[in-house]
Amino acid sequence: MNRTQTPPQYPWWAGNARFIDLSNTFIVAHVAQAALIMLWAGAFTWFELARYNPAVPMYEQGLILLPHLASLGLGVGDGGQIINTFPYVAVGGFHLVSAGVLAWGAWFHREKLPASLEMMAPPVGKFHFRWDDEAKLGLILGHHLLLLGLGALLLVAKAMFLGGLYDANLEQVRVVSQPNLDVLALWGYRTRLFAVDNLEDLVGGHILVAVLLLLGGTWHILVPPFAWVKNRFLFSADGILSYSLFGIALAGFAASYYCGFNTLAYPVRFYGPALELKSALTPYYFDPTGATTDSARVWLANAHFYLAFFFLQGGLWHFQKAMGLDVSRMFQSWRAEQQAVYQLQFQCEPQALPDVLYEPRLVPAPAITPQGVAALYEPVRGEPASSLRRLPGVRTTLYQAVYHWRPVVFYQPAGKVQGRRERAWGGLYEPPKAKPSFPNRPALSQSWYGVKR
């Protein structure tokens, strides 16, 4: 069966471009990515638990997941001591099971559903989308915001109803029964976002954020984008991806600052002392206490900062592509123009035509040469250089051949004679030899130099 393959518009390493117009395969990739994240979280939690030493501070053991679980109040007693590690085992196992469920979901979408959801009946078919369908993209955005709002409410539920959180000020786990719901007080943190110093404000802020996310998600599901939104935002694959990368970069920078400076959400007991930010050639967080080993806070703050930086660069890259300015092609065009100005125009390597004969040229020959030999043909002489490729600026040559002198003997004088009679009656010339044959040369009447047969 013959197959027609569309020329690729993206390089080979842009793997996601293969399903840019396949809505179901797009979901497969997202679900499989979530499965990998869950797998890493569960496996790494068990790995850290296997090497955890209760006699050494947690932040000195290179741990990054167990400190986070401890700050949620799991298995922590008075004074920040880890008294029960079973919750860590349960959390790791839950993530591993979730990874298996998500992997099965990715397999189901890949094997049981078509590559695109366009032909599926509702409610599955309503999740098919096109990049120029603003209303459908708003519907998908609304569901994402709802999930983020539910995630914020999970932290609120843990703080208020499921055992509470670790309070770094009291060094004990407590339930936050009266979170701060004063919108004006919480709004005041907009200029000092990383200065939250009590759990009431921390939990109240999560409640406020959850309400905004749930309202925003509901709005985007029910109300399509306005005209001014369509005119000012980029509704394309690169455009939506750039906005997503900008959001991840913003979250990464916020996490790095919170981890580096805030000691309430990231307690000193589990993450080590607060850091300072140094900006020399490149900005980085460092421990001002002069510790010989990097704490968990140093690792997390720097990792989040630089990952956010590269996500920001990716967002800028895809944004300029969505705007129609492809920087990579611009540089390629610039290099091509430089080569056109400063180099000879040999950009390809043509081949000799198979139906064109390149014959030696016919030249008149003297009867007898000074060496005593008569020549009928003189082959074409080539360039004296061994190869034109050695000349500066020449990359390829169309045709090059170097012929060496090879005389064709038609008749030759006799050897030394002894008598005058022999010189008079045939001693001057010997009988002519047989006419040489040229099996590889066609007849002159059929072809000439450079003429098609």
The per-residue pLDDT for 192 is 85
What does the pLDDT look like over 275-297, one tens digit per residue?
999 887 788 999 998 888 899 99
The per-residue pLDDT for 101 is 98
For 222-226, 370-374, 423-427, which range has the lowest pLDDT when averaged over its residues?
Answer: 423-427
In a domain, 193, yes or no: no
In a domain, 429, yes or no: yes
Checking if the pLDDT of 41 tops 90, the result is yes
What does the pLDDT look like over 248-273, one tens digit per residue?
999 999 999 999 999 999 999 999 99
The per-residue pLDDT for 417 is 45
Contacts of 130 (CB under 8 A, 6+ apart): 21, 136
Checking if the pLDDT of 63 tops 70, the result is yes
Distance CA 419, CA 76 (A): 131
Which amino acid does the sequence have at 205?
Answer: G
Average pLDDT over residues 376-400: 51
Residue at token pair 């994240």:
37
Q: In whole numbers, what is the pLDDT of the chain averaged over residues?
A: 81
Average pLDDT over residues 398-409: 51
Average pLDDT over residues 176-192: 91
How big is the chain, counted in residues? 453
The per-residue pLDDT for 279 is 82
In a domain, 172, yes or no: no
For 29-43, 180-194, 357-371, 409-423, which range has the lowest pLDDT when averaged over its residues?
Answer: 409-423
Q: Which conformational region is residue 333 in: left (phi greater than 0), alpha (psi within -120 to 50 degrees), or beta?
A: alpha
The per-residue pLDDT for 61 is 93
The per-residue pLDDT for 352 is 59
Beta pairing partners, 277? 285
In a domain, 211, yes or no: no
Of 126, 199, 102, 129, which is closest to residue 160 (Cα–Cα)?
199
In a domain, 174, yes or no: no
Average pLDDT over residues 430-434: 55
Number of domains observed in the structure of the chain: 2
Q: Whole domain around residue 47: which residue ranges?
A: 16-130
Provide the 3-class DSSP secondary structure of residue 386: coil
**Confidence bin at 82 (pLDDT 50/70/90):** very high
Instruction: Answer with the residue of higher pLDDT: 194 or 437.
Output: 194
In a domain, 391, yes or no: yes
In a domain, 308, yes or no: no
Percentage of the chain surpassing pLDDT 90?
Answer: 55
Q: Highest mean pLDDT: which of 128-137, 256-265, 389-398, 427-436? A: 256-265
Q: Highest mean pLDDT: which of 94-108, 234-248, 412-426? A: 94-108
Q: Highest mean pLDDT: which of 38-42, 54-58, 283-287, 345-349? A: 38-42
Instruction: Answer with the residue of higher pLDDT: 357 or 221.
Output: 221
The per-residue pLDDT for 358 is 52
Average pLDDT over residues 75-96: 95
Checking if the pLDDT of 179 tops 90, the result is yes
Checking if the pLDDT of 17 tops 50, the result is yes
Residue at token pair 């170097």:
402
**Confidence bin at 202 (pLDDT 50/70/90):** very high
The per-residue pLDDT for 106 is 96
**Which residue, of 98, 130, 162, is where some domain finishes?**
130
In a domain, 21, yes or no: yes
Contacts of 164 (CB under 8 A, 6+ apart): 73, 158, 173, 174, 175, 176
The per-residue pLDDT for 184 is 92
The per-residue pLDDT for 50 is 96
Number of Cβ within 10 Å of residue 250's Cβ equals: 14
For 105-109, 123-127, 166-170, 356-360, which range has the lowest pLDDT when averaged over its residues?
Answer: 356-360
**Which residue, of 130, 150, 177, is where some domain finishes?**
130
pTM of the model: 0.70
Residue at token pair 């559903």:
113
Checking if the pLDDT of 421 tops 50, the result is no
In this structure, the dihedral spanned by the alpha carbons of residues 95, 98, 100 and 104, taken in order and rounded to 10 degrees, is: -160
Cβ proximity of 382 and 400 under 8 Å? yes
**Which residue, of 130, 147, 173, is where some domain finishes?**
130
